[in-house]
Amino acid sequence: MWLLNVTEKIVGECPAHDEINRVQGTLLPHRWRNMVVQKFWLSLTLFLLAACDAPKLPSPFHASDVTARFEQATFQLTDQHGQTRTLADFQGKVVVVFFGYTHCPDVCPTTLADFAQVMRLLNKDADKVQVLFVTLDPERDKPDMLAKYVSQFNRTFLALYGNELATAQAAKSFNVTYQKQPTSSGYSLDHSDGSFLIDPKGRVRLLAPYAQPSTLMVEDIRLLLAGV
C-alpha cells in the first residue's frame, strides 16, 4: 500500500497528470487509476520473482569461473633461462599459473607434482599447455635454484621471478596474498594456494583449489582447449 501512496503522490504532483489520464476528453476516475497502479506493481513483482527463480545453467568446469574478476591480470617477469616473459607470450596455449616458493615444505611441491601428473594424463595435449611457477621469494629463489626446482617435476615447466616490486605487482594482479613468517632457521611464507587456468586467448578463466584431483584439472584444461 505504501508503494501505491508514493505513486499517487508522484502522479498527483505531476503538472500534466490530467492530460496523461484523459481518455477521449474525460478524466480517468480515481478508483480506476488505483486499479491500474495496483495491477502494474503486481505485474512487476511477479516478473521480478520469476527472474529470481530462473534456473542457472551449471558450469561445465570443476574449478571456479573467475573470468570477470581478472580481466586485467598480467605480469612482466623473467624465466629461469633469463628471458623476459609476459602473459601474452603464451597465447595459443592453456596456461596454468601457481604462486609459491622453493623453500615451501608442502603446498608447493604437492601442487607441482599434481601438475606433472596432469601433463602425463594430457598425453599429446600436454604440448598445448604451459605451467608457470611464480616465486614469491625472490630474495632466496635465484635463477639456478628455480631451474633445478621446477625441472624435478617436469622439464617444460617455467619458473618466473622478478624483484620485490615486480613480484608484488604480479601477485596483486592475481589477488595473491603472501606474508613472511619468522622461523628458527629464517622465515617461511604464508601464501594463497590456488592455481589459475588461462585460456588460449590469454584470459584468466578458472581458479582451481589446492589439491584438486588431477583428473578434474585435465577435464577443465581440455574444455579450455576446445574453446569452451
CB 174 within 8 A of CB 204: yes
Query: 57 or 227: whose pLDDT is higher?
Result: 227
pLDDT for residue 48: 56
Considering only CA atoms, give the Rg of the chain.
Answer: 28
Is 80 exceeded by the pLDDT of residue 36?
Answer: no
Is residue 99 over pLDDT 70?
A: yes
Which of 32-36, 82-86, 96-100 is the least confident region?
32-36
Average pLDDT over residues 203-224: 98
**Distance (Å, whole) CA 166 – CA 48:** 47
> Cβ-count burial of 184 within 10 angstroms (0-12 exposed, 13-18 middle, 19+ buried)?
exposed
Task: Please tell me the pTM assigned to this model.
Answer: 0.76
Give the separation between CA 94 and CA 219, rounded to whole angstroms. Answer: 12
Does the pLDDT at position 121 exceed 50?
yes
Mean pLDDT over each residue of the chain, to the nearest integer? 85
Phi-psi region of 128 (alpha: psi -120 to 50; beta: other; left: phi over 0): alpha
Confidence of residue 58 (pLDDT cuts 50, 70, 90): confident
Query: Is the confidence at residue 10, as pLDDT, over 90?
Result: no
Least confident segment among 47-51, 90-94, 180-184: 47-51
120-124 contacts at long range (C-beta below 8 A, 24 or more positions apart): 121/214, 121/215, 121/218, 122/218, 122/221, 122/222
Q: In the chain, what are the domains? A: 2-53 (no CATH), 64-225 (3.40.30.10)
Q: What pLDDT is attached to residue 210?
A: 98
Q: Among residues 75, 77, 117, 64, which one has the least CA distance to residue 202?
A: 75
